[in-house]
Amino acid sequence: MAATWGEIFPQLMAAGLLASRGVKEKLESHPDPLGLIAELRSKGIKGKLTPEMIPSSTSKSNPGRVIAPIAEPAIENISMRNNMPDWNREDFPMDAVDAMIDIKVHYDITGNSTTEGKMGDITNAFNDRLEKLRKLIISNSDLPRRPIDIARLYQERARFQGRENKAVAIGLVNDPRHTKNGHLMFSLEDSSGEMNCLLMDRKGDDRIIEHSQIIEAGLMPDDVVGVSGTFSQNGDMFYVDDLHFPMQDKHDKAYAEQGVSVAFLSDIHVGSKTFLEAQWHKMVGWFHSEPLARTIKYLVLSGDCVDGVGIYPGQDNELAIKDLYGQYTRFAELLELLPDWVECLMLPGNHDAVRPAEPQPTLEPDIQQDYNNTKFVGNPCDFSLDGVRVLSYHGKSIDDFVAGLRTVTYRDPVEAMRQMLRRRHLAPQWGGKTPLSPEPEDGLVIRDVPDIFVTGHVHGHACVDFRGTTLVCSSTWQDQTSYQRMLGFQPKPCMLTVVNLGTHKSISIPFA
């Protein structure tokens, strides 16, 4: 008895069979696909189902070898509609299958890394950062006057000791610290010199809320900020009246004409014993049956798609697939289960088989060859989808923001993303937890404000607006690890974030 794909697909899932490319067509034209699946199931055959394994009739032929058997996924009914208040079919003028692929990459380090890691390269990287962010501070921040080089400012400090004549400087922050009295001290450095700065936490009527917020959070080492203020009587301290960041007040989003959508995932961690495979198949089933899924043209995978090998001590005991290439092959098979109309963009994270120093180039051609419908890019990557600007960054530096700023925690990683946008920099701190590659052009500067800014790494989940930019902290597909259990950290796995590129409405769909 012939059957439709809607009838065939749940049976494949229930049998633990993964349909690779070409299988759908072959089963749809098969005289008895459900009988065939039942036959394979009765023989205990699971895993990848290739077209060669499907005989053209129900004859008892050998269905072929079994590749990578999987645990039988639990089929559960999820009531999607309850979680989709914003989702209207009318919001999507066309199906993804009818839309053109329109991806433009604006920044990717792949093939463009020129550093030799020498001292001169580090100096050049910092000079480039300072220059780029200085321009942004001048254009976006309300400076009371033009900034002056720190050495000249210091020579002329007598002019800037009265309250009425403020001086302005822009530089890199060194050694930020809180004093015993709760004030914020740091030194500010440019290519001409360095000066000590103090931002006072005033109380009572003198209190300035923005200052209190900055003081509460602190500053990151190697932040680039502007200061305006005056010198102390003896000239060895600069009293900061105002701090200036390179962020604009408000960003105007671009809207796509095609009206298809983009979905976000990261940190799949295939190869780990804690990879949530059954939930993946639940999502695959959703992609093949849910009308909203027909609008998903792009899937952005923001790093750590595999668990990697030798990433942390004792990782070997937690791996279900111990071979690195095997992990990538398995992930390729899992992606292959998604409908053909979904185009993936995949970037590396700190678990991937590329250099750890950021910006990271993309994965090697040897790995890429297993994948269809996938564009490989570096980390971070700044690109446009149908004219909507997306900045995707794996998010390793969130570890530094948690350590450096008192307002950022792993429970609220979106605050780190707000702080990155405020600084227009993805990973300011040199020598912290994020290894950085000193490129002549600092690739971690946020040159253009994105319409959508996405990170992963911390295995949380969020989708919020911040001054006109949609911030997506994309969800993981890994259950709590023993390390996270030790830290008491609860991940938020198996959430697919979908953003309509035409309206910027967003939906998060749970598969856990």
Q: Which is nearer to Fe ion, 246 or 348 (CB)?
A: 348
Which position has the token pair 């111990």? 322
CB of 483 to Fe ion, least distance (A): 11
CB of 427 to Fe ion, least distance (A): 13
Residues at the contact surface with Fe ion, assessed by CB under 5 A: 267, 304, 349-350, 457
Starting at the edge strand found earlier in the chain, the sheet holding 343-347 runs 374-376, 343-347, 296-302, 261-265, 495-500, 506-510
CB of 348 to Fe ion, least distance (A): 10
What is the sign of the dihedral through the CA atoms of 79, 80, 86 and 92?
A: negative
CB of 305 to Fe ion, least distance (A): 9
CB of 399 to Fe ion, least distance (A): 9
CB contact set of 430 (below 8 Å; sequence gap of 6+): 122, 126, 221, 222, 436
Q: Which is nearer to Fe ion, 246 or 432 (CB)?
A: 432
Q: Which is nearer to Fe ion, 418 or 457 (CB)?
A: 457
Q: Measured at the alpha carbon of residue 449, what is the angle toward residues 392 and 357, in degrees to the nearest 5?
A: 40
Answer whether 302's CB lies under 8 Å from 311's CB.
Answer: no
Interior/surface letters 284-313, b for 16+ CB within 10 angstroms, e for the rest? bbbbbebebbbbbbbbbbbbbbbbbbeeee
Q: How far is CA 268 from the centre of its chain?
A: 12
CB of 89 to Fe ion, least distance (A): 34
Q: Which is nearer to Fe ion, 150 or 306 (CB)?
A: 306
Q: How many CB atoms lie under 10 A from the CB of residue 327?
A: 28
Nearest to 341, CA basis, from 298, 300, 376: 298
Q: Which is nearer to Fe ion, 201 or 304 (CB)?
A: 304
Q: Which is nearer to Fe ion, 129 or 396 (CB)?
A: 396
Q: Which residues pair with 185 in a beta bridge?
A: 177, 198
CB of 122 to Fe ion, least distance (A): 25
CA distance 294 to 281: 17
Answer whether 61's CB lies under 8 Å from 8's CB.
Answer: no
Q: Which is nearer to Fe ion, 230 or 302 (CB)?
A: 302
Q: Which is nearer to Fe ion, 141 or 302 (CB)?
A: 302
Which position has the token pair 């999607």? 80
CB of 395 to Fe ion, least distance (A): 7
CB of 358 to Fe ion, least distance (A): 12
Q: Which is nearer to Fe ion, 290 or 352 (CB)?
A: 352
Report the first-to-last Cα separation within the chain, whole angstroms: 34
Which position has the token pair 């253009």? 448
- Amino acid letter for position 301: L
CB of 457 to Fe ion, least distance (A): 4
Q: For residue 482, what are its two tokens? A: 């023993």
Q: Which is nearer to Fe ion, 219 or 354 (CB)?
A: 354
